[in-house]
Amino acid sequence: MRNAVSLLMAGLIGLAASSAYADNLSFTLENQTPNMIVQFYATPADGGTRSELLKKKGLYGGKSRQLTIADGSDACVYKIRAVFENDSFYDVRDEVDFCENDTYTLAD
């Protein structure tokens, strides 16, 4: 009986962990501009908390990095903002669906 309860608990914990993980969205950010991106924000399109995804690690021009949106929402569509080292910024006019796109490229 104890083994059955232990197996049930282990299964429930595994299910909870995989459900939490399913809420995370991973994508590759490609910086094809000559400037370093110093901040990259994602906000659910329908409202919610804005997340800073680079975590104070800039992304130089010509480089790419895997990023994860782990905001706990089940959103796929986000508004994004990139802030560059020269204090200029880029706001996406169209919303980005990260469930459909696993790469996002910023280019001149």
pTM of the model: 0.74
CB within 8 Å of 65: residues ≥ 6 apart: 28, 29, 54, 57, 59
What pairing do the DSSP bridges indicate for beta strands 25-32 and 103-107? parallel
Per-residue pLDDT tens digits of the chain, which is 108 residues long: 444 434 334 443 444 443 444 479 999 999 999 999 999 999 999 988 899 999 889 999 999 999 999 998 899 999 999 999 987 777 776 799 999 999 999 998
Closest CA to 65 of 49, 53, 83, 77: 53
pLDDT score at 90: 78
